[in-house]
Structure 1
Amino acid sequence: MSGRGVPLALGSALLFGAAAPLSKLLIGSIDPWLLAGILSLGAGCGLTILHGGRRLIGLPSPEASLRRADLPWLAAVVIFGGVLGPLLLMLGLSMTSASAGSLLLNVEGLATMVIAWVIFRENVDLRLLFGAVAILAGAVLLSWTGDGFRLDAGSLLVVAACVNWGIDNNLTRKLSASDPVQIAMIKGLVAGTTNLVLALAVGASLPSATLFAAGVIAGFLGVGVSLVMFMLALRHLGTARTGAYFSLAPFIGAVLALALFREPITGQLAVAAALMGIGLWLHLRERHEHEHAHDPIEHDHLHTHDEHHDHHHEGPVTEPHSHWHRHAPLRHSHAHYPDLHHRHGHRG
């Protein structure tokens, strides 16, 4: 299995998980809609500095740039993941507890996996399915009131945000071969500006410079850097498995929420966390290996020369590098994820 994709996905989860309770701290002083814009704008501005800085010092990115054919996919991920997702989450966090809201973010991984499996036909084995069931059981338990199941308005908005991000994650896979910094930068700038302008238009007021800066920093790390790491993980793990590893994010958020807001650790919260933890453990234990065939394909992405990249260059090259290249047909067996080169079908 890929040794690079797992730490990238877990690092992304760590940053995003911390962003939810930290955003909850800011919601008391900043309008939720406005905060959604500030977080995304912080991601976009911070990544713009990184993107421009590496060029200024003579280090152009070896990543493949976006192509014209990528623009419709980019527009879709901006709408679902950049505009709607953050807005719904901020509105939801303003109406529910930070710990419950953080744990409900597990629905994102579940939504991502279901969409990848049902719509995009990505392989999902029994271990992943059982893990998903455990995560869903934990989310359902959080809605138990004693007399029945009920999701309050805040929880429903958090779930809606997760569904939007599930759609976003699957669409983002279409762009995962291109420069993740460039994509996340555009997504943050466009989505952040949109939410910021709309929030101000309906009457929100700009916060103090200190609070604004806090939101920008939280957005840069929890949205921008997290998204770049998530996109890099997509290359190595595929959508369903990246979403599964990303399920660690809610536990990070819940632990921080309990510490920051001194919320009580109820039996219901503990059991829900345990169920979700079992689900994550099942995902982490998965191993997928079989003989498979690679069809001929031509594409452009960052790569090093290995058994999947045995083409020749005229003259010396540095690695990793990106350029348009062709893969010849190949059949072999090894442990793998549904990454850029292993999106084949499965029987059963």
Structure 2
Amino acid sequence: MILARRFKHGATGQQTAHNRFPLHAVPWLAGAIAAGGVAGPALLMLGLNTTPAATGSLLLNLEGVFTALIAWIVFRENVDLQVFLGMAAIVAGGVALSWQPGAAGLPPGTLLLVGACACWAVDNNLTRKVSTHDAMFIACIKGLVAGSVNVALALTLGARWPNLSSVALAMLTGFAGYGVSLVLFVVALRNLGTARTGAYFSVAPLFGVTLSWLLWPELPPLLFWVAAALMTLGVWLHIRERHEHPHTHEPLEHTHRHRHDAHHQHEHDFAWDGEEPHTHAHHHAHHHAPITHAHAHFPDIHHRHTH
């Protein structure tokens, strides 16, 4: 991811001096790494030692639920009945997809898996606080810190290094599943808010089952089609959402890729070549009065107001 970020900046000629990660955001990122990068995976591994895979798959659906609840209750992200029902349908689809009749009840590792889901939910909500900044940088730092800590923890507990080919395959999988995926997740947090991003992320198992079906052709079971229908319904309910009311944009300082649209009317304190979109730290209401207007919007970085 570091190499990809260097290549991106070299190809686009971005001026990274205007794209530094601010000190005031470090505690939020540190909390996200500790909760989701270190504690979450550790609890998952410990929990799976005493929990059947079927039960574990079911419990992992709790991440989306916990993410939405924290976003709605703690961070006061707006929610209406349609969004709530959409979230419920997506979670129900995940349960249907991972349901295995006759699976064990609640083994000892259950609470550890629930704890892992809670950690990832905290991670998602804390990452939302820094989603205004460079998503690739956030992914790099989370990967470096969490990966180093977890590898050190594994070696301390007696794990041995696998062979080189296994390491290479694991790194390739990690680059896609934890690197690129995290970058896209952060950008989604920036534009959609936490609960909706968590809901869409919860459809991931559907892609996994579909891919395995394509690689190893067999007729999917009935529950697959039930899950697909529920998840499609949930996403459709979210997509048709139209949240619109008069709102005021207060002063806000952040860094993200933007155009000079209605939410980005500012001047530059550095030489600008006129290229858009571009990235630099910018302070809303530095050069104009707070904006009050009405339009359809999500709880993105510009619309985190109370109702």
- Whether TM exceeds 0.5 here: the answer is yes
Kindly, what percent of the aligned residue pairs are identical?
A: 50
- By relative contact order (CA 8 Å, sep 6+), the higher-ranking structure is 1
How much does 1:260 deviate?
6.5
Distance 1:233 1:112 in 2: 14
- Whether 1:78 aligns to 2:39 is no
What is the count of residue pairs matched by the alignment?
Answer: 298
Unaligned runs of 5+ in 2: none
Instruction: Rate the CA distance shift 1:225–1:58 in 2: closer, same or farther, 3 A.
Output: closer
Matches within 5 A, 1:59-70: 59-60=13-14, 64-70=19-25
Q: 2:284 aligns with which of 319, 326, 329?
A: 326
Alignment partner, residue 198 of structure 1? 153
Instruction: Rate the CA distance shift 1:178–1:299 in 2: closer, same or farther, 3 A.
Output: closer
Instruction: Rate the CA distance shift 1:265–1:178 in 2: closer, same or farther, 3 A.
Output: same
Q: 2:6 aligns with which of 37, 41, 52?
A: 52
- Whether 1:131 aligns to 2:86 is yes
Alignment partner, residue 166 of structure 1? 121
Unaligned runs of 5+ in 1: 1-46
Instruction: Rate the CA distance shift 1:191–1:299 in 2: closer, same or farther, 3 A.
Output: closer
How much does 1:138 deviate?
4.7
Instruction: Rate the CA distance shift 1:219–1:316 in 2: closer, same or farther, 3 A.
Output: closer
Distance 1:296 1:92 in 2: 45
Q: Which is worse superposed, 325-334 or 194-203?
A: 325-334
Distance 1:230 1:140 in 2: 22
Distance 1:206 1:243 in 2: 33
CA contact (8 A) 2:94 2:203 kept: no
How much does 1:322 deviate?
1.2
Q: Which is worse superposed, 118-127 or 280-289?
A: 280-289
- Whether 1:287 aligns to 2:248 is no
User: What per-residue deviation string (whole Å, max 9, x for no partner) do you get for residues 30-56 of structure 1?
Assistant: xxxxxxxxxxxxxxxxx1212334456
Q: Which is worse superposed, 258-267 or 314-323?
A: 258-267
Matches within 5 A, 1:1-348: 47-54=1-8, 59-60=13-14, 64-90=19-45, 95-97=51-53, 105-138=60-93, 150-152=105-107, 157-257=112-212, 267=222, 271-272=226-227, 274-313=229-268, 316-317=272-273, 318-319=275-276, 320-327=278-285, 328-346=289-307
How much does 1:208 deviate?
1.1
CA contact (8 A) 1:102 1:250 kept: no
Q: What secondary structure does 2:241 align onto?
A: coil
Higher helix share: 1
Alignment partner, residue 4 of structure 1? none
User: What per-residue deviation string (whole Å, max 9, x for no partner) do you get for residues 277-319 of structure 1?
Assistant: 4333322332222222222334443321011112234764432
Distance 2:129 2:220 in 1: 41
CA contact (8 A) 1:138 1:273 kept: yes
Instruction: Rate the CA distance shift 1:57–1:123 in 2: closer, same or farther, 3 A.
Output: closer
